[in-house]
Structure 1
Amino acid sequence: ERSDGGIRMFKDTDFEWLSIIECLKKTGMPIKEIKVFIDWCIEGDTTISKRKELIEKQRQVVLFQIQQLKETLSMLDYKKWYYETAEKAGSCKVHETMQEDDVPDNLRKARERAKGLFA
């Protein structure tokens, strides 16, 4: 019961459950796997190692997603620069004669990927 006389619908632990469910869902974990994790939590201390391993696995998934997003952002940054440069020149053909040194250092890897020169 709340101090103002009303009935409290959720306990603090309910919010903790919702928080971890939302977190795992955002990592792309299927609901079935989230349920397994929750079952392990309910099961108790004998499943601490399993839960820790699952969390570490999802950490690795997120780290990989972050790396992919960084590469995607890098490509978008390159293309933004590409079109800004083309717009100033009045044509995309400006890039056909552009030398490597004309490309900003932080965009060169993305340019290589865009041209298929970098795996």
Structure 2
Amino acid sequence: MTISEVSEKFDIPQDTLRYYERIGLIPHVNRNKNGIRNYTEEDCSWVGFIKCMRGAGLPIEVLIEYVGLFQQGDATIEARKEILIEQRKRLIAKMEDMKKTLERLDYKIKVYEQVVVKKERELKRSEI
């Protein structure tokens, strides 16, 4: 796949894909004889993984560490697992914070809805 196809498939700007490649998040992407990037299914798997992890809030630095460990082979499985466990804990905490924020927003919306209903009732009474 070309960079434009990968960009469209994953809804990631081409510049971001180039950046990910430059900093080592996407292991070396082969190029054709004209120098155009030729993404393999494995490359696309990395792109999908990175997009998912970034969406979950993982910092670039953590992803760089993870990819570096992956490239070192099976001897780093435990270290990679620990990174994912730590990031999972952080994501759960973030989700709990977001849940509290959502509950507060729901409360405020409910209060405003009650105010609107009260105002409408008062307006109807004044019309009588």
TM-score (norm 2): 0.60
Q: CA RMSD in A?
A: 2.2
- What per-residue deviation string (whole Å, max 9, x for no partner) do you get for residues 44-101 of structure 1? 000000000001111111111111111111111101110111111129xxxxxxxxxx
Q: Which amino acid aligns with 1:58?
A: Q
- Partner residue, 1:80: 109
> How many residues in Structure 1 have an aligned counterpart in Structure 2?
86
TM-score (norm 1): 0.64
Equivalent-residue separation in structure 2 for 1:72 and 1:35 (angstroms): 31
Unaligned runs of 5+ in 2: 1-31, 121-128
Q: Is the contact between residue 27 and residue 61 of structure 1 (CA under 8 Å) also seen in structure 2? A: no
Q: Which amino acid aligns with 2:77?
A: I
Question: How high is the sequence identity, in percent, across the aligned residues?
Answer: 31
Equivalent-residue separation in structure 2 for 1:48 and 1:57 (angstroms): 14
Q: Which amino acid aligns with 2:108?
A: K
Alignment of 1:53 onto 2:65 = no
Report the secondary structure of 1:55's partner residue. Answer: helix
Report the secondary structure of 1:9's partner residue. Answer: coil
Unaligned runs of 5+ in 1: 1-6, 92-119
The correspondence of residues 5-84 of structure 1 with structure 2, limited to 5 A, is: 9-84=38-113
Stretches of 4+ moved more than 3 A in 1?
Answer: none
- What per-residue deviation string (whole Å, max 9, x for no partner) do you get for residues 21-64 of structure 1? 22222233322221111010000000000000001111111111
Equivalent-residue separation in structure 1 for 2:114 and 2:61 (angstroms): 49
Equivalent-residue separation in structure 2 for 1:23 and 1:87 (angstroms): 41
